[in-house]
Amino acid sequence: MSDHASQPGPEAPEGRTARREWPLWEVFIRGQHGMSHRHVGSLHAPDAERAMRAARDVYTRRHEGVSIWVVPSVQITASAPSEKGPMFDPADSKTYRHPTFFDIPDDVGAM
């Protein structure tokens, strides 16, 4: 078990550059109400198990959640803010795409 970064130790002799950081994880919590996990923030941890524990301690102290997901941040592919226009503007003024004109049958359950 020597392949993961060690815990940041006391003052490294050569200054901050010698310090190895734990990888970053994104945390998703499913709250008391609703079915979806929502992004709540991120944290550093050496592995998934420890990330889960840390997420519990950092993000659910006030009974915010009933379920936690942790995902390595490097696994997330994000859209580029500079391409915001072409990505999202075409959806403007197309209200007919909103399903607000339909009654949802009870059988469908939670949506």
Closer residue to another protein (CB): 21 or 89: 21
What sign does the CA torsion over 80, 82, 83, 88 have? positive
Instruction: Decide if residue 2 touches another protein (CB under 8 A).
Output: yes
| Residue carrying structure tokens 């950092």 | 58
d(CA 99, CA 84): 24
Instruction: Decide if residue 46 touches another protein (CB under 8 A).
Output: yes
DSSP letter for each residue of 8-68: P-S--TT-GGGPPPPPEEEEEEEESSSS-EEEEEEEE-SSHHHHHHHHHHHH-TTS-EEEE
Piece of the chain touching another protein by CB under 8 A; list 48-56, 74-82, 89-97, 101-109: 48-56
Instruction: Decide if residue 70 touches another protein (CB under 8 A).
Output: no
Instruction: Decide if residue 41 touches another protein (CB under 8 A).
Output: no
Minimal distance in Å, beta carbon 83 to another protein?
Answer: 33
Residues that bind another protein (CB under 8 A): 1-2, 6-9, 22, 43-46, 49-50, 53-54, 57-58, 61
